């Protein structure tokens, strides 16, 4: 007996769906293998080494958590990342706001200026700040010439130079998420608030600012997470006065050849980063839920 098309179609669609899902699973094999081989396996190797080198046990973690220099290095890393994130947000928000309102050639020019900075090497930019902050650099010459100080100030190595250098490097990573979010905000909502009698500042504070919170949270998380692992700028501008965790890890691994301690310090930094990211996700979901409930 010949079956009608209506009887064949469901089975055919089920077969096609099964074949498609099978094809998708095979397509995932290569990226999963790549991530597992070149990302997960090295991380697991570092964590394993932190427990067995030089002897099995928790000795490396006891040194990290209870010895002064290593715990202080982790604190400096968290503190620096937080300061850099706040400074980037304060600087980037008005810049992104102006860019979001710009149109045509002005917007293209401003975007090019932000993106072009990403093409310059971090090493070159860090060395440029060394030229600015050194004893005979541009900043000290200006301070002495204007009479603000009688003698050059020792900015290098120091915390100020590290913070300024990292803010300069991380600023585009704060501007771009803010810009993407601000350009998606419907300007008619702000105009409607003005029509209803709100002042420009009130319309910004009650309408535009809450709608830009997703961009603020995304940019802040990106800058903070990337700042935790900074190495080049702190090593060039900070020195022993500002020893961040990445610099300490490099020192233990390459100079002192204490791979077990370097692995333990890396594992603790990874755990801190993951914990902060999970906390960030929880806070964002709670805020989004509260915002949806308010609406």
Query: To which residue do tokens 């003005």 refer?
Result: 194
Cα end-to-end span (Å), the chain: 60
Alpha helices in 28-103 (DSSP H): 29-35, 41-52, 59-66, 68-101
| pLDDT tens, N- to C-terminus, the chain (295 residues) | 445 544 545 556 666 666 667 767 777 788 888 888 888 888 898 888 888 888 888 888 888 888 778 888 888 899 999 999 999 999 999 999 999 888 888 888 888 888 888 888 888 888 888 888 888 878 888 888 887 877 888 877 888 888 999 999 999 999 999 999 988 888 888 888 877 877 888 888 888 888 888 889 889 999 998 898 888 888 888 877 778 888 888 888 888 888 888 898 889 888 988 888 888 888 877 766 655 555 5
Architecture of domain 69-294: Orthogonal Bundle (1.10)
Question: At residue 177, what are phi and psi to the nearest 5 degrees?
Answer: -65, -40
Domain ranges of the chain: 1-52, 69-294
DSSP tag of 150: S
């Amino acid at each position: 007996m010949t079956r009608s098309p209506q009887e064949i179609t469901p089975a055919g669609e089920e077969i096609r769906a099964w074949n498609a899902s099978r094809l998708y699973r095979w397509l995932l094999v290569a990226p999963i293998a790549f991530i597992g081989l070149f990302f997960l396996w090295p991380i697991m190797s570092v964590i394993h080494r932190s427990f067995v080198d030089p002897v099995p046990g928790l000795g490396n973690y006891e040194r990290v958590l209870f010895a002064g220099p290593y715990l202080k290095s982790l604190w400096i890393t968290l503190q620096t990342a937080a300061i850099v994130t706040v400074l980037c947000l304060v600087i980037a928000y008005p810049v992104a706001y102006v860019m979001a309102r710009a149109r045509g050639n002005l917007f293209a020019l401003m975007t090019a200026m932000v993106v072009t900075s990403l093409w310059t090497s971090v090493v070159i930019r860090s060395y440029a700040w060394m030229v600015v902050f050194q004893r005979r650099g541009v900043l000290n010459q200006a301070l002495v010439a204007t009479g603000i100080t009688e003698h050059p100030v020792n900015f290098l190595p120091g915390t100020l130079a590290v913070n300024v250098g990292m803010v300069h490097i991380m600023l585009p990573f704060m501007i771009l998420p803010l810009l993407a979010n601000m350009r998606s905000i419907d300007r008619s909502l702000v105009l409607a608030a003005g029509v209803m009698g709100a002042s420009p500042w009130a319309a910004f504070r009650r309408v535009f600012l809450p709608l830009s919170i997703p961009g603020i949270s995304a940019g802040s998380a990106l800058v903070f997470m990337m700042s935790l692992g900074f190495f080049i700028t702190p090593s060039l501008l900070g020195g022993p006065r500002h020893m961040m965790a990445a610099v300490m890890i490099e020192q233990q691994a390459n100079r002192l050849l204490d791979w077990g301690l370097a692995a333990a310090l890396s594992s603790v930094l990874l755990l801190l980063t993951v914990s902060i990211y999970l906390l960030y996700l929880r806070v964002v979901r709670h805020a989004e839920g509260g915002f949806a409930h308010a609406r």
